[in-house]
Structure 1
């Protein structure tokens, strides 16, 4: 069930009405309704994987209690690693088995041994990376005594399966979400209105920006051999806006939906394309995943402490693992490697924490320097996105080669010709709106909110009807 589907438009009001207007409303009944809604929501993808979701929930729930009840450090470490190994084994089997099987076969072929890889027809359970990471953060936090184990199975089950974040995040922390699930929620009209505005703006990002860009992105990347330099450059830019509109749009819809139920989720995007360097970009992009890897992998490895070699090693590990988390393909690993190369100079020069404060632009040299840094950061980010979008390393490299060797900058005809110049104008307007909204909850609120809401709904209907691209990119992760 997609957030941008008619089914969800029917599903959400029904759950909302049951949640707020049930008789004898209590915290427990609210949680039961959300759990039932979440399992139904997930079953719409493939009901068979409900058992996998339930298994991971039971595993981590009972392991957490065992961890808390054991005073022996040896037994606590046993339960921690047993849970981690089982969770990662489940994730590895469904997501990475065929990748490793084929990669090992290719490796043996290069040294003269012909090995036929055993490829299984495995269906990747939607959202498995997200709910597995929810469980891992929970069990690790119990081990380090940052939180206590949750003994109420209903509350813990909702923490793992809560439908707004179930299939594509954000990756929540038990310290943030569980306390909200343990108290009765009271209806807050202002928060609900805020949520509706955020849902609508998320749909604008997805349907108007991402899906429109996807039409051109697919055309250019699928036929890059016949594209000139201008089209290939535009293809990289279009994909940058597609993946941002797609994923941040999903996050906005998730956060807005959750506000309707009186629950706040973690902010996942903070206008990343206005970053002044790549370190700031990663503090603003997919924030929940970035901070997850920082807290549960980078810092345990030693973080930025120790010698320069350890700093470099840890940085490469974090970016390569992040790339591999996104998908079982060498293109994602290459994407992570490139971002590590971007980040290393800032780390070694101790400049990775330079751009933390917010900024304003004016008529001065400092503002010109900020604009230049933002443009450079966006350009190198678009370059890395080529590897993320390409099907193979070979495709990415030849795409880049043609981009720098064709050197023709004329407009080309596309078979999906629709909004060629209009799309560029729309992206320009979108950037201006995003820029002016950096200090707001979301762009629709404030003065003339109902007029802006009407314009957004008109754009969603007008462009959504003609969109060929419906799915969310991050569902595959």
Structure 2
């Protein structure tokens, strides 16, 4: 069930009505509504996927209680290992088994040995990378004694499967989200309106910005031999817009939907393309995943403490793991390594926490120096996205080689998929100018249109909202799947 589908447009109001009616009964019934509704939402893709999430929920619920009951280090470690083995095992089989088998066979073929090992024809369950990390953080926090395990299975099941953020995040910590299931929620009109506003902006990002940029990005990456180099540069740019609009749009819809039900989810994107260096970019991009790796991988490895070589090791470890988390393909690993190379000089010079404030915090426009830093950081990010988008490493290398061509000076164009005609849609540039103008004005808030319209008269505010709704319907013909569903 997609956020931008008719099914969800029917599901959400029904869920909303039943949920708040259940509030008159008891907290347990209200949580049960969340659990059942979340299972219906997830099972709409494939009911068999529910068996995996239920299994993972039961294992981590039981393991956490077992960890709490014993003080013996060996037993506690064994129970924690059980949780990690189950969750990472499920992830490994469904997401990484074929990758390792294929590379294992290729490695032996290189040495002259031909092996016959069968790969598995498995469908990757939607959101498995997200909810496995969420449940693992629960057992790890219980093991570290940072969290008391819950004895309320319904509350825990609702936490694991909470439908707004189930399939593409934010990856919530049990310490932040689980306690919200212990408290009675009451309807807050102002919070609900804020949620609807955030949902609207998320839908605009997805259906207007991301989906329209996707058509041009797909044209470039599918036809690098036909299009001029100038089009390939724009293709990488449009993919950067697509993945940001797509993923941050999903997060906005998820966070806004959670607000409707009285829950608060963490901010997952903080205007990352307004970053002045790569370190700042990674503090603003996919925040829930970045902080997860920081707290559960980077810091346990030693973080930025220790000598130079330890810093280098830990930096590459965290970025390579992050890249591999995104997909079983060498392109993601190279993407992670490239970001590590970008990040490392800042860390070694102690400048990785240089830009902690908002760019041009007390000014309308950035300085020349800030503008140059923004442009450089964005350019490095766009280049790295080429590896993220390419089908494989040869395709990525060929795409980059094709950019360095005399045709870089030619007028860019793209090939429309349905007609085969050459096009360069001017409207998308106008939409991007509008989009980034609003994002810039709202860069100090949780999402762009949270407060920037407050000084406006109500008539102008509603005209703006209805304008967004009109654009969503008018430009929604190029529907694309959410990119992060594949992860």
TM-score interval for Structure 1 and Structure 2 normalised by the shorter chain: over 0.9
Mark the runs of 5 or more structure 2 residues left unpaired by the alignment: none
- 1:134 corresponding residue in structure 2: 134
> In structure 2, what is the Cα distance between the partners aligned to 1:64 and 1:13?
35
- 1:452 corresponding residue in structure 2: 464
2:480 corresponds, among 467, 470, 477, to: 470
> In structure 2, what is the Cα distance between the partners aligned to 1:361 and 1:306?
34
What value does the CA root-mean-square deviation take over the aligned residues? 1.6
- 1:248 corresponding residue in structure 2: 248
TM-score under structure 2 normalisation? 0.95
- 2:218 corresponding residue in structure 1: 218
Residue pair 2:236, 2:383 contacting (<8 A) in 1 also: yes
C-alpha change, 1:16 and 1:361, in structure 2 (3 Å) is closer
Shift, 1:83, TM fit: 1.3
Moved more, 230-239 or 83-92: 83-92
Shift, 1:440, TM fit: 3.2
Q: Secondary structure of the equivalent of 2:118?
A: coil
Residue pair 1:204, 1:460 contacting (<8 A) in 2 also: yes
Residue pair 1:305, 1:311 contacting (<8 A) in 2 also: yes
- 1:262 corresponding residue in structure 2: 262
C-alpha change, 1:193 and 1:151, in structure 2 (3 Å) is same
Moved more, 415-424 or 72-81: 415-424
TM-score under structure 1 normalisation? 0.97
1:302 to 2:302 alignment = yes
Superposed CA offset, 1:186-205 (max 9, x none): 00000000000000100000
Mark the runs of 5 or more structure 1 residues left unpaired by the alignment: none
Residue pair 2:358, 2:443 contacting (<8 A) in 1 also: no
- 1:16 corresponding residue in structure 2: 16
Shift, 1:452, TM fit: 1.4
Mapping 1:264-283, distance limit 5 Å: 264-283=264-283
Mapping 1:419-430, distance limit 5 Å: 420-430=425-435
- 1:192 corresponding residue in structure 2: 192
Superposed CA offset, 1:78-121 (max 9, x none): 11112111211111000000111101111111111122341111
> In structure 2, what is the Cα distance between the partners aligned to 1:156 and 1:125?
21
Shift, 1:130, TM fit: 0.7
Residue pair 1:197, 1:442 contacting (<8 A) in 2 also: no
Superposed CA offset, 1:339-386 (max 9, x none): 000001111111101001223278999811001000100000000000
Residue pair 2:87, 2:132 contacting (<8 A) in 1 also: yes
Residue pair 1:4, 1:470 contacting (<8 A) in 2 also: no
- 2:115 corresponding residue in structure 1: 115
Runs of 4+ in 1 over 3 A off after TM superposition: 361-366, 416-419, 440-445
Shift, 1:424, TM fit: 1.5
Residue pair 1:444, 1:453 contacting (<8 A) in 2 also: no
Residue pair 2:23, 2:30 contacting (<8 A) in 1 also: no
